[in-house]
Structure 1
């Protein structure tokens, strides 16, 4: 995912509405390794900007995914999670706590690992 200032320019170039709420979401996502859900982002954003709506969070995530700036992960945990890391990698999901982590393996190693 690009730096928040670059995302601001990209949104403008694509004719998308740019608001302080969206800029806050850009900052919360940039470099975020927790693979947050929309709901988790909403909670984090609400702490800094109490008036933000869940609809704004969902729409911003949808726009970022459509622009190729964010990956949407549909894991067995139920709600979608979002990953700003666009490098080639895989994910593992802890069935106990629901934590999602990035896993980097080359093709040869990947073929021999069960469960990935």
Structure 2
């Protein structure tokens, strides 16, 4: 009985995540480093400044830490993500296209697709 209840809960949760993803809602915290902040860091690094020198001038605009400076690790993480997107844009686009094609064909169950996109 407990196992059946657990399966029902898992199924309902995955259906809810899938429905939210179809509406464009994705869970998680909002990003600390906004696009404006990232562009500021990139511009100032191109001018010869280090991340440690730029960090005190950045202010988090929303969320729990609104008004504080982002951590160095958050800045470095955003820079690494930006680097991945700029170095391999065709690979990212191809992966998205392949995933969408598999989802249309039905090779990927909707429950899995919803959990991956969330």
TM normalised by structure 2 equals 0.29
Structure showing the higher strand proportion among its residues? 1
Name the one with the larger helix percent.
Answer: 2
Radius of gyration: which is bigger? 2
